[in-house]
């Protein structure tokens, strides 16, 4: 076992893990932050996307020990403490950008990274192209794309 420390959603956390423990396992099983999902476990579906020092990454293809000392943001870290949703979460709710909801945390974390890289005025082509690393089996993406476009605009306000 090895000790690992990092900051998750603004809080310092620490834990004992086997070196082979994935970041997503550490988040879900040690910290009980089960908003980050495991879909494919082969770095294709994007359900496990979190931000490592502000940059989106797949937590199923990252070892917990690789992010020792880093600052991690998960879906649980987006809403305000009182429960007010982040503008991107609100946009997914408003535009019904989900059906079963399994891919949604990854979609939202990915959406925020699209805004980081491309700014707040996003066109449909950019959003669809940049969602390459996220798979949704329910929605056909239509409302997800609408939600991201609206969420990105709302974030600029």
**Which residues sit at the interface with another protein, rule CB under 8 A?**
2, 18-20, 41-44, 46, 49, 55-58, 61-63, 65-66, 68, 110, 113-114, 117, 130, 132-133
CB of 68 to another protein, least distance (A): 7
Residue 107, φ and ψ in degrees, nearest 5: -60, -45
- In sequence order, which residues have a C-beta less than 8 Å from that of residue 112 and are 6 or more positions away? 51, 56, 78, 88
Cα separation, 107 vs 101, whole angstroms:
10
Q: Which is nearer to another protein, 68 or 123 (CB)?
A: 68
CB of 97 to another protein, least distance (A): 18
CB of 52 to another protein, least distance (A): 8
Q: Which is nearer to another protein, 42 or 157 (CB)?
A: 42
71-73 and 2-8 beta bridge pairing: parallel
Q: Which is nearer to another protein, 48 or 98 (CB)?
A: 48
CB of 71 to another protein, least distance (A): 15
Cα separation, 79 vs 20, whole angstroms:
31
Cβ atoms of 9 and 76 within 8 Å: the answer is yes
Q: Which is nearer to another protein, 80 or 132 (CB)?
A: 132
55-58 and 49-52 beta bridge pairing: antiparallel
CB of 119 to another protein, least distance (A): 14
Q: Which is nearer to another protein, 33 or 67 (CB)?
A: 67
Cβ atoms of 133 and 46 within 8 Å: the answer is yes
């Amino acid at each position: 076992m090895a000790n690992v420390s990092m900051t998750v959603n603004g809080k310092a956390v620490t834990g004992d893990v086997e070196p082979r423990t994935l970041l997503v396992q550490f988040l879900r099983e040690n910290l009980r932050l089960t908003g980050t999902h495991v879909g494919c476990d082969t770095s294709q579906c994007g359900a496990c996307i979190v931000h490592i020092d502000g940059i989106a990454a797949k937590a199923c293809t990252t070892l917990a020990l690789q992010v020792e000392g880093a600052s991690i943001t998960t879906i649980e870290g987006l809403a305000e403490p009182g429960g007010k949703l982040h503008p991107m979460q609100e946009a997914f709710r408003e535009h019904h950008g989900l059906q079963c909801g399994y891919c949604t945390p990854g979609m939202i974390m990915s959406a925020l990274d699209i805004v980081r890289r491309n700014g707040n005025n996003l066109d449909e082509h950019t959003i669809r192209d940049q969602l390459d690393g996220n798979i949704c089996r329910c929605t056909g993406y239509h409302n997800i794309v609408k939600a991201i476009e609206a969420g990105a605009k709302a974030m600029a306000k």
